[in-house]
Amino acid sequence: GNGARDRLRIAIQKSGRLAEPARALLNACGLSWRESRDRLFCYGESLPVDLLLVRDDDIPGLIRDGVCDLGVVGRNVLLEQDIALRSEGGTTAFREWRALGFGGCRLALAVPEGWAWQSPAQLGSTRIATSYPAILRQWLDGQGIAAEVVELSGSVEIAPRLGQADAICDLVSSGATLAANQLKPVMTLLESEAVLAGPAAENFGQLWDDARGELAELLLRRLDGVLRMRH
């Protein structure tokens, strides 16, 4: 953080799968907001807790840079960026403060339906397309597999049909998209869901010695109550 602040700032997805459930959850914690005209910033009314509405991929960076204090983001995005930062020599910047129980999906390895799948060793010297190169690379290294990681920002599931890759590593929920592309999931690399992300620390008091520490603790207590009731 840069300097003392008396308001807590939380980044959430502006639009997409996590946008509405994230707002509904914070709402259930007793937060309410007045929206700005550009709809990028929501000013907290019931508590000094503001929202920044952004692309999910920007959330870890906003936390790391201290622009936002906390964020609601998929574990998949948080872990990808955490591994990428650490592979550049950084230390762990993030912590998952709570798993939030929505946005569930898994990051899975999928191969063409025609493959007789036996073990990950079959992936040696194949090309695997993904939007999660850091997670995939770490997993491949752990398995001792020399495969080529082909980084794509979207439409990963059509890469095998286009001849860009032999297999893919992508997010799966129902599996319908994979089936539509004649692919089958064979390994799960990560079970994911939306999480409350923040900087790595033991407790909020270590992070902020201004009003944000107590605000974050209050939010977490309410969040735990709401999550218990939803269970």
Regarding 56 and contact with Zn ion (CB under 5 A), the answer is: yes
The interaxial angle of helices 19-28 and 211-230, nearest 10 deg, is 100
35 bridge partner residues: 42
Regarding 57 and contact with Zn ion (CB under 5 A), the answer is: yes
Q: Which of residues 29-88 bind ligand ATP (CB under 6 A)?
A: 55-57, 74, 76-77
Regarding 82 and contact with Zn ion (CB under 5 A), the answer is: no
Regarding 10 and contact with ligand ATP (CB under 6 A), the answer is: no
Q: Which of residues 16-35 bind ligand ATP (CB under 6 A)?
A: 16-18
The SS3 call for residue 104 is: coil
Closest contact distance (angstroms) between CB of 158 and ligand ATP is 15
159 vs 215, beta carbon nearer ligand ATP: 159
Closest contact distance (angstroms) between CB of 16 and ligand ATP is 3
Which residue sits closest to ligand ATP, CB atoms considered?
Answer: 74
Closest contact distance (angstroms) between CB of 215 and ligand ATP is 25
Q: What is the DSSP letter of 110?
A: E
Q: Are strands 194-199 and 167-172 parallel, antiparallel or unpaired?
A: unpaired
Regarding 131 and contact with ligand ATP (CB under 6 A), the answer is: no
> Are the C-beta atoms of 71 and 122 separated by less than 8 Å?
no
Regarding 105 and contact with ligand ATP (CB under 6 A), the answer is: yes
- Stated as kind and residue range, the H or E segment containing 215 is helix 211-230
Closest CA to 13 of 48, 47, 68, 57: 57
Q: Which does 105 bind (CB under 5 to 8 A by kind): ligand ATP, Zn ion, none?
A: ligand ATP
Q: How far apart are CA 139 and CA 29, in angstroms?
A: 37
